[in-house]
Amino acid sequence: MKKFISAKMINLADPRIGSKVIFKTDDFFAAAHRILNIETPVFKDGLFDKHGKWMDGWETRRRRSKGFDYLILKLGKPGKIFDIDIDTTHFNGNHPTHASLEGCLSKTKPNKKTKWISLLSKKKLGPSRNHSFKSNNKSVFNYIRLNIFPDGGVARLRLYGKIEMEKNFLNNKTINLTSVLNGASIIGCNNEHFGRAENIIAPGKGKNMGDGWETRRSRGKNFDWLIIKFGKPGLIKKLEIDTHHFKGNYPDSCSIQTASISKDLSNKSIVNNSKNWKFIFKKYLLFYNSKLSEKIISYSWNNIINKDEAIYCLGCYKSSEKTWQLLSQYM
């Protein structure tokens, strides 16, 4: 079985989890909020607006004085940032020469007195390309400042890391265990040719077929799969599988397996052992463009109460599907 083993982290700048731009020095040519769009940047040949060439990203006007431009981003959830992606796709000749990144953890909106902590020192940028960097600070942040020198355009900013969950914030509450907002993350999947696996744990309803997990067409007797790690272990009470927007490419059926796994196992080991996990459903029939709900009455997951984490595996037969939710209760 081919595997895509992932150390997939959450994009903490994703607007779907509530992240947003709250300040920018300028966005004359292209609106600052576009820098957070989850879609791949596009170039629209011949499209102009009242300020000039339309660009898919954030672009400031040419500076006529000393200084630099910056924007401030409020993260939807506080978290630790490990990887930084500054994408200048389609910005060629109008890209910044350098960029840096700073952060802070504050209960109030940043101001002139805010002490910013460096996550990325001043780095050189090139035209129309992805720039991947490692964060030099693993502290928890909820505000981020992107500095560009001296001006120009950036298509996307992606900040990969881990949400910092509040202690005891979900005790005895029924919630969606597979939501990124509750600490869920992708461990691995076998394929995500048409739609990224991380979409399946994003909050809210899918906007279209691109806003879900979709694999390439399967040939033969193989099936597609993904594994999700819960933020915390819990008792499963209800399952929802949503195939909205998927009509001619929805899965015929799916299976559901679960396990309780200690922290010392690698993602690769988790994937290799997943076929032996306990089934909730061995084969659950699915339908196109619909949401199915199933109460889990007889299944008790008592053995995970004192474990460090819980893992959930979804196997889809013959195709792929949009998203699903596991409504459960944290212990």
Tens of pLDDT along 5-40? 445 688 999 999 999 999 999 999 999 999 999 999
Between 148 and 190, residue with greater pLDDT: 148
Query: How high is the mean pLDDT of the chain?
Result: 84
Output the pLDDT for position 139.
95
Output the pLDDT for position 304.
32
Identify whether the C-beta of residue 329 lies closer than 8 Å to the C-beta of residue 299: no
Output the pLDDT for position 315.
53
Question: Using 50, 70 and 90 to split pLDDT, how confident is the model at 261?
Answer: confident
Q: ω before 150 within 30° of 0 (cis)?
A: yes
Output the pLDDT for position 67.
96
| Domains along the chain with CATH numbers | 10-163 (2.60.120.260), 168-330 (2.60.120.260)
Give the chain's end-to-end CA distance (angstroms, integer): 34
Output the pLDDT for position 319.
40
Identify whether the C-beta of residue 30 lies closer than 8 Å to the C-beta of residue 56: yes
Identify whether the C-beta of residue 76 lies closer than 8 Å to the C-beta of residue 10: no
Strand partners, 79: 141, 163
Output the pLDDT for position 165.
77
* Dihedral-angle region of residue 271 (phi above 0 means left; psi in -120 to 50 means alpha; beta otherwise): alpha
Can you tell me the mean pLDDT for 307-324? Answer: 44
Q: What whole-number percentage of the chain has pLDDT above 90?
A: 47
Output the pLDDT for position 287.
80
Query: Both tokens of residue 114?
Result: 């805010």
Identify whether the C-beta of residue 66 lies closer than 8 Å to the C-beta of residue 149: no
Dihedrals phi, psi of 264, to nearest 5 degrees? -80, 0
Output the pLDDT for position 168.
59
Between 170 and 93, residue with greater pLDDT: 93
Total-model pTM: 0.80
**Rounded to an integer, what distance in angstroms lies between the CA atom of residue 163 and that of residue 331?**
19
Question: Using 50, 70 and 90 to split pLDDT, how confident is the model at 292?
Answer: low
Output the pLDDT for position 253.
87
Can you tell me the mean pLDDT for 207-213? Answer: 88
Per-residue pLDDT tens over the stretch 120-166: 999 999 999 999 999 989 899 999 999 999 999 999 999 999 898 77
Question: Using 50, 70 and 90 to split pLDDT, how confident is the model at 173?
Answer: confident
Contacts of 77 (CB under 8 A, 6+ apart): 12, 17, 18, 142, 163, 164, 181
Output the pLDDT for position 305.
28
**Rounded to an integer, what distance in angstroms lies between the CA atom of residue 248 and that of residue 256?**
22
Output the pLDDT for position 328.
43
Question: Using 50, 70 and 90 to split pLDDT, how confident is the model at 314?
Answer: low
Output the pLDDT for position 301.
33
* Of the candidates 299, 190, 163, 193, the residue with the CA atom closest to the CA atom of residue 239: 299
Least confident of 19-28, 45-54, 95-104, 171-180: 171-180
- Strands laid side by side in the 185-189 sheet: 4-5, 185-189, 224-229, 309-317, 253-261, 278-285
Question: Using 50, 70 and 90 to split pLDDT, how confident is the model at 220?
Answer: confident
* Of the candidates 39, 16, 139, the residue with the CA atom closest to the CA atom of residue 87: 39
**Rounded to an integer, what distance in angstroms lies between the CA atom of residue 263 and that of residue 126?**
39
**Rounded to an integer, what distance in angstroms lies between the CA atom of residue 31 and that of residue 56?**
9
**Rounded to an integer, what distance in angstroms lies between the CA atom of residue 90 and that of residue 83?**
22
Highest-confidence range of 43-52, 185-194, 270-279, by mean pLDDT?
A: 43-52
Query: Both tokens of residue 68?
Result: 């630099």
Task: Tally helices (H) and strands (E) across the chain.
Answer: 1, 22
**Rounded to an integer, what distance in angstroms lies between the CA atom of residue 7 and that of residue 328?**
25
Output the pLDDT for position 74.
98
Between 154 and 268, residue with greater pLDDT: 154
What is the enclosing helix (H) or strand (E) of 85?
strand 69-87
Least confident of 50-64, 96-110, 232-246: 232-246
| SS3 label, residue 26 | coil
331, pLDDT greater than 60: no
**Rounded to an integer, what distance in angstroms lies between the CA atom of residue 312 and that of residue 302?**
15
